């Protein structure tokens, strides 16, 4: 007891690989001997599936829907290597307020002092990343999480979501909110995509923590309901997640990012698309044309 609890939030555009990355990170941290809880904050409720052989668990909100009082222990499920798995859940699509749902779920855990009771080293929130409304910003405000990492590819939509997140962090940074640990570049396999994402991090005064390439091993393991760390521990991809976990374990100081303005971001994107177009055209010399 008494050791500091590190709370980390992972944000990013839908489908970009947050849950994949977070689950591998949780698995890797647990192998390093830490007590870890992964808290899925996405109405999709599939954040922790690969930690539990692909199975779904009852969510906080599903359980709350049925009865008004809730013991948090009822919605905590153990996964790979003892990782504590929680899914906040959400309302049916098109009704209610998913943002408020996340607030409710997170508040419930705080009130019941679960993190202290379980003597955790890490709580990792896996949050739907477009920060569409106030509820999705809960893990980064009020100092719930101290460090935020964003998963992003070099895809413009994904960078856009990351930049929005930076704006949220900047906003709450003045009132004790979380700061930015860095960007986890996912499905970035080199070439210009590496250049794009590193140019973006330079512009926004942040850094890339790890590059995780697109890998068939991820898909293979996912189909078996496993993280790469569990399902293919010897693979190159698993080593990348182990390295990511070590960096995050060693990470102490997060910073305030410098998000781009809306027009700045658009200009930045169109600048890159022109550059890429020139390269493509340049590559195809007349002689090579079929």
Partner 1 sequence: MSEIIDRPRYACALGGALFTLRALPRTAPIIHASAGCGYSLYGALSAGAGYLGGGYCGGAAWSSTNVVEREIVFGGEERLEEQIRATIELMDADLYVVVTGCMVEMIGDDAAAAAAVFRDAEAPVLAIPTPSFKGDSYAGYDMALSGLFRGFTRLGAEKRKDTVNLLGLVPGQDAFYKGNLTELKRLLEQLGLRVNTFFGEGETLDNLRNASEASLNLVLSDRYGIKAAQVFEEIHGVPYRVLPFPIGAAQTADFLRAAAEAAGVGTAAASALIYREEDRYYDYLERIADIYNDIDLQRYAIVAGDVNYAPSVSRFISDELGWIPKLTVITDQLNAEETAKVQSRFSGWESGVYPLIKFDPDTSAVQRYFPLAWPQSANERYYDSFSPAVVIGSALERDFALQYSLPLLTVSFPVTNRIVLNQSYAGYNGGLSLASDLITLLMSWR
Q: Which stretch binds ligand ADP (CB under 6 A): 13-21, 114-122, 141-149, 175-183?
A: 13-21
Interface with ligand ADP includes 193 (CB under 6 A)?
A: no
46 carries an active-site annotation:
no
Q: What's the rounded Cα separation, in Å, for the pair 268 and 196?
A: 10
For Mg ion, which residue of 19, 21, 49, 206 counts as binding (CB under 5 A)?
19
**At closest approach, how far in Å is the CB of 144 from partner 1?**
18
Interface with Mg ion includes 158 (CB under 5 A)?
A: no
DSSP 238: H
**At closest approach, how far in Å is the CB of 212 from Mg ion?**
15
Interface with ligand ADP includes 12 (CB under 6 A)?
A: yes
Name the nearest CA neighbour of 35 among 43, 26, 44, 22: 26
Interface with Mg ion includes 45 (CB under 5 A)?
A: no
Q: What's the rounded Cα separation, in Å, for the pair 268 and 266?
A: 5
Task: For residue 81, give Cα distances in angstroms to 18, 36, 52, 124, 160.
Answer: 20, 10, 10, 16, 35
Number of residues that bind ligand ADP (CB under 6 A): 16
Name the nearest CA neighbour of 40 among 91, 87, 6: 87
Q: What's the rounded Cα separation, in Å, for the pair 287 and 209?
A: 42
For ligand ADP, which residue of 77, 167, 171, 214 counts as binding (CB under 6 A)?
214
Instruction: Please say whether the beta carbons of 188 and 199 come within 8 A.
Output: no
**At closest approach, how far in Å is the CB of 101 from partner 1?**
4
Q: What's the rounded Cα separation, in Å, for the pair 102 and 34?
A: 25
Interface with ligand ADP includes 15 (CB under 6 A)?
A: yes
Binding mask 215-244 vs ligand ADP (x if CB under 6 A, - otherwise)? x--xx--x----------------------
DSSP 212: E
3-state secondary structure at position 96: coil
Q: What's the rounded Cα separation, in Å, for the pair 8 and 140?
A: 9
**At closest approach, how far in Å is the CB of 99 from partner 1?**
9
Pick the catalytic residue from 13, 35, 146, 226: 13
3 carries an active-site annotation:
no
Residues 55-84 that bind partner 1 (CB under 8 A): 61, 64-65, 68
Q: What's the rounded Cα separation, in Å, for the pair 19 and 30?
A: 16
For ligand ADP, which residue of 20, 59, 204, 254 counts as binding (CB under 6 A)?
20
Instruction: Please say whether the beta carbons of 38 and 80 come within 8 A.
Output: no
Interface with partner 1 includes 91 (CB under 8 A)?
A: yes
| Residue 104 interface partner, choices ligand ADP, partner 1, Mg ion, none, CB cut-off 5-8 Å depending on type | partner 1
Positions that interact with partner 1 (CB under 8 A):
61, 64-65, 68, 91-92, 95-98, 100-101, 104
């Amino acid at each position: 007891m008494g050791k500091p609890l590190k709370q980390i939030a992972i944000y990013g555009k839908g489908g970009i690989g947050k849950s994949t990355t977070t689950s591998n990170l949780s698995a890797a941290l647990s192998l390093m001997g830490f007590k870890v809880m992964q808290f899925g904050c996405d109405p999709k409720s599939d954040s922790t599936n690969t930690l539990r052989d692909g199975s779904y668990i009852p969510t906080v909100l599903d359980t709350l829907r049925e009865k008004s009082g809730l013991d948090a222990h009822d919605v905590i499920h153990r996964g790979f290597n003892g990782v504590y798995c929680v899914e906040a859940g959400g309302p049916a699509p098109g009704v209610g307020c998913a943002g408020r749902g996340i607030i409710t779920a997170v508040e419930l855990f705080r009130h019941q002092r679960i993190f202290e009771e379980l003597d955790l080293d890490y709580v990792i929130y896996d949050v739907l990343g477009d920060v569409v409304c106030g509820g999705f910003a809960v893990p980064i405000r009020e100092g719930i999480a101290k460090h935020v990492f964003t998963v992003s590819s070099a895809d413009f939509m994904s960078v856009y979501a990351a930049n929005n997140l930076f704006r949220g962090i900047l906003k709450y940074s003045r009132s004790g909110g979380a700061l930015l640990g860095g960007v986890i570049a996912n499905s970035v396999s080199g070439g210009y995509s590496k250049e794009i994402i590193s140019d973006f991090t330079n512009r926004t005064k942040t850094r890339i923590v790890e590059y995780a390439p697109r890998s068939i091993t991820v898909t293979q393991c996912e189909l078996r309901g496993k993280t790469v760390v569990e399902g293919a521990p010897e693979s190159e991809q698993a080593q990348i997640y182990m390295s990511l976990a070590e960096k995050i374990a060693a990470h102490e100081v997060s910073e305030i990012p410098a998000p781009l303005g809306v027009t700045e971001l658009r200009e930045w994107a169109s600048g890159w698309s022109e550059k890429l177009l020139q390269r493509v055209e340049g590559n195809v010399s007349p002689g090579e044309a079929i």
